[in-house]
Amino acid sequence: MPFISVADEVARKSFTSVENKFITKYLPVLEPLAVKVYLYSLYLYQNGLSAFTLPDLAQSLNISEERARELFEYLEEFELVSVISENPFEVKILDAENVYGTPKKFKPEKYSDFTKSVQSVLKGRMVSTEEFREYFYLIEEYGFEQNALIMIINYCVNLKGDDIRLAYIKKVAKSFAEDGVTTAKKVEEKLSAYSSSTPALIKLFNTAGIKRQPDIEDDRLYKKWTDELGFEDAAIAAASKLFKTKSVERLDSAISELYKNRKFDVKEIEDYCKTKNSVFTLTLGIAKNLGVYVQNAAPYAENYVGVWYGYGYSPEILITLAGYCFKNGKNSFEDMNEFIRGLYDDGVVSDESVNAYIEEKLAEDRILKQILTECGLTRKVIAWDREALTRWRSWNFGDEMLMEAAKLSSGKSNPLAYMNGILSSWKAEGVFDRDKLAAREFHASSKPTSSERPSPNGERAEIERHYTELRHAAEDRAEKALARATADAGYSSIRRELNDLTVKLAFAEIRDRKLADELSEKIKILEEKADGRLKALGIDKSELTPRYSCSICNDTGYDKNGRPCECLDRFLKTLKS
């Protein structure tokens, strides 16, 4: 009978595969808990439990999350795993057969003096073989001098006591190595520099209520706050008191927040903390006016509202700007931030200047609404309209001339494009007021042929009657075709859906490019569906739009630039014949 056998029930169950080399070569030398972590990791992967996280694994093995990290790092040193991401923590299991995957062997005699020194420093407990292996690894992989590592271990013991854990010593040693401090001389220099700042750290810890001795990592943060960020001790102490920090990590977060908001002086920090609560309240008010729901106001207060407040904008004007942004399709904190940055760059900061700016923009929208109405359009003013108005005014056209161009564009298939063409023509001819426009129209209407003769009033009336009849006939045919199409329930339903999507597209083009593309694709599909339905009804799609007798002027007598059309010249000849 074999040494080990299994019951039939076991043979029928699922298993987790382990490389034989792991069992024969690695398992005898690995720390027992590391073997558990390795095997459990294999189990998670081979059974497709991808939703498991580091905390889940730690809980399953009844160890701390920090200990689980340490064990994965330990396995990484044997090249059994590779830590590919720290946040989120992700691990890749490596091939135990690879060339570099053999356990590292250290000659005990090489480190005999070192091990004696370490044990004398850690006199409160016995140092295990595995712990010594970790120290050997630090020496060989990070390039530490033996005396340098002994100095680091001694520093850690003096700081934390004899029961100090290996993990803390490794963390400190690695931080020294990251700074290139691996020789005894450099370690001594670093510890001396730390000692010089220790009194200031102890005083700061007392102020902050941190009940432990400062260590080398605290010293690193302290130097960041003072040397890199430029905070003085009094400012750091004020930040600790006002932010009510009870740990170095929270104090570091508070200092980072103050640095981001450019608050360095004690008074600046005090004022900032006094207004911080009101900034949170203001953030909620702005979110309400923008039509945005925020579950946690903190990031919006810190990244947006606090910054705007720092620019000099008052709470009242920020609420006003939020309402203005909402009405103009800028209904997110990101959009509002871009808008405010534009105002700030232009020097529009005070309540008076902002109100004047808004009033100016509202007045422009009122003019644009009148222009749209004259053009025969009933939609809302959009960003393109505002850009067009800015361009037309840069061409030196006043509101009166814009209204005249809008009247001429009424009834056209694309009235604003037609209006743009008219204004461009007038600009080229230097026509910028009504007097010049009247003279130009008189000249144009009195030119039935190449010779210049004024046209009698009766002739002008005949021209207007002729073109009105042509337009009405074309439009009447289109309306009848449309009535036939919409009488069909299927086509009518598609058309209503198309109209709804078209309205949504107009807003999406201003706010969300991705959504606009999605809506455009849906509209394209629906239009193809509508064309198919029209074909089934025996209606050509082109019948739904007026078929004017002249494609140049659309039966108005004037081309897109406001000049007399060729068909007008031909009609005048028939009148004269």
Task: CATH number of the domain at 42, please.
Answer: 1.10.10
pLDDT at 272 over 90: no
Is residue 156 a part of any domain in this protein? yes
> According to the model, what pLDDT value does residue 364 have?
87
Say whether both 345 and 358 belong to one domain: no
Say whether both 97 and 30 belong to one domain: yes
Say whether both 170 and 213 belong to one domain: no
Say whether both 344 and 272 belong to one domain: yes
Residue 321's nearest CA partner among 339, 346, 334 is: 339
Report how far residue 464's alpha carbon sits from residue 471's, in angstroms, rounded to the nearest whole number: 11
The DSSP H or E segment spanning 365 is helix 351-374
Say whether both 275 and 315 belong to one domain: yes
514: amino acid identity, one letter: K
What lies within 8 Å, CB to CB, of 460 at 6+ separation is 445
What lies within 8 Å, CB to CB, of 131 at 6+ separation is 166
361-406 pLDDT, tens digit per residue, is 888 888 998 988 888 888 888 877 888 888 888 988 888 889 888 8
399-453 pLDDT, tens digit per residue, is 888 988 888 888 776 788 778 878 887 887 788 887 776 665 555 444 444 333 3
- Range with lowest mean pLDDT among 108-117, 316-325, 509-518: 509-518
Is residue 65 a part of any domain in this protein? yes
Say whether both 22 and 85 belong to one domain: yes
> According to the model, what pLDDT value does residue 577 have?
61
Mean pLDDT of 35-62: 88
pLDDT at 217 over 60: yes
Q: Virtual CA dihedral for 73, 75, 77, 80, nearest 10 degrees?
A: -130
The two beta strands, 89-93 and 81-86, are: antiparallel
- Range with lowest mean pLDDT among 19-33, 195-209, 519-533, 543-557: 195-209
Mean pLDDT of 204-216: 78
N-term to C-term CA, the chain: 125
pLDDT band at 90 (very low <50, low <70, confident <90, very high): confident
Report how far residue 71's alpha carbon sits from residue 65's, in angstroms, rounded to the nearest whole number: 10
Report how far residue 147's alpha carbon sits from residue 135's, in angstroms, rounded to the nearest whole number: 12
User: What percent of the chain has a predicted confidence (pLDDT) above 70?
Assistant: 88
Give Dmax (Cα) for the chain: 126
Beta-bridged to residue 564, according to DSSP, are: 558
pLDDT band at 454 (very low <50, low <70, confident <90, very high): very low
Angle value at C-alpha 199, between 194 and 205, nearest 5 degrees: 100
Q: Which residue has the higher pLDDT, 35 or 272?
A: 35
Say whether both 345 and 272 belong to one domain: yes
pLDDT band at 99 (very low <50, low <70, confident <90, very high): very low
Buried b (16+ CB within 10 A) or exposed e, 103-119: eeeeeeeebeebbebbe
pLDDT at 527 over 90: no
321-373 pLDDT, tens digit per residue, is 998 888 887 888 998 999 999 899 989 999 899 999 888 888 888 899 898 88
292: amino acid identity, one letter: V
Indicate the residue among 445, 470, 492 that finishes a domain. Answer: 445
Is the N-terminal amide bond of 88 cis, ω within 30° of 0?
A: yes
> According to the model, what pLDDT value does residue 100 have?
43
Q: Residue 225 sits in which domain range?
A: 192-260
> According to the model, what pLDDT value does residue 200 have?
77
> According to the model, what pLDDT value does residue 147 have?
92
Say whether both 386 and 341 belong to one domain: no
pLDDT at 36 over 90: yes
Cβ atoms of 80 and 101 within 8 Å: the answer is yes
> According to the model, what pLDDT value does residue 452 have?
37
Say whether both 75 and 16 belong to one domain: yes
Say whether both 254 and 277 belong to one domain: no
> According to the model, what pLDDT value does residue 455 have?
43
Q: Provide the sign of the torsion angle of the four alpha carbons 10, 16, 21, 23, taken in this order.
A: negative
Is residue 455 a part of any domain in this protein? no
113-132 pLDDT, tens digit per residue, is 898 898 988 887 888 877 88
Number of domains in the chain: 5
Mean pLDDT of 286-303: 85
pLDDT band at 148 (very low <50, low <70, confident <90, very high): very high
Is residue 333 a part of any domain in this protein? yes
Structure tokens at 77: 């040193």
pLDDT at 50 over 50: yes
Report how far residue 397's alpha carbon sits from residue 38's, in angstroms, rounded to the nearest whole number: 78
- H/E/C letters for each residue in 152-196? HHHHHHHHHCCCCCHHHHHHHHHHHHHCCCCCHHHHHHHHHHHHH
> According to the model, what pLDDT value does residue 429 have?
79
In a 10 Å sphere around its CB, with 0-12 CB exposed, 13-18 middle and 19+ buried, how is residue 348 labelled? middle
E-strand ranges in 258-334 read: none
The DSSP H or E segment spanning 335 is helix 333-345
3-class secondary-structure state, position 5: coil
The DSSP H or E segment spanning 238 is helix 233-242
Report how far residue 313's alpha carbon sits from residue 309's, in angstroms, rounded to the nearest whole number: 5
Say whether both 144 and 167 belong to one domain: yes
Is residue 238 a part of any domain in this protein? yes
User: What percent of the chain has a predicted confidence (pLDDT) above 90?
Assistant: 7
Report how far residue 552's alpha carbon sits from residue 542's, in angstroms, rounded to the nearest whole number: 17
Buried b (16+ CB within 10 A) or exposed e, 213-234: ebbbebbebbeebbeeeebeee
541-563 pLDDT, tens digit per residue, is 888 888 888 888 888 787 777 67
3-class secondary-structure state, position 232: coil
**What is the 8-class DSSP label of residue 99?**
G
Helix/strand/coil percent split, the chain, to 5 = 70, 0, 30
> According to the model, what pLDDT value does residue 195 have?
66
Cβ atoms of 371 and 402 within 8 Å: the answer is yes
Q: Token match 């840069």: residue?
A: 394
> According to the model, what pLDDT value does residue 433 have?
81
Indicate the residue among 101, 136, 152 that finishes a domain. Answer: 101
CA distances from 96 to 15, 49, 68, 329, 347 (A): 19, 22, 20, 59, 65
Is residue 576 a part of any domain in this protein? no
C-beta neighbour count of 515 within 10 angstroms: 14
Is residue 4 a part of any domain in this protein? no
Say whether both 343 and 425 belong to one domain: no
Structure tokens at 564: 């007399």
Report how far residue 326's alpha carbon sits from residue 320's, in angstroms, rounded to the nearest whole number: 10
Residue 31's nearest CA partner among 167, 220, 184 is: 167
149-163 pLDDT, tens digit per residue, is 999 898 888 877 877
Indicate the residue among 325, 349, 373 that finishes a domain. Answer: 349
Report how far residue 339's alpha carbon sits from residue 325's, in angstroms, rounded to the nearest whole number: 8
> According to the model, what pLDDT value does residue 321 have?
92
Is residue 406 a part of any domain in this protein? yes
> According to the model, what pLDDT value does residue 381 have?
81
The DSSP H or E segment spanning 90 is strand 89-93
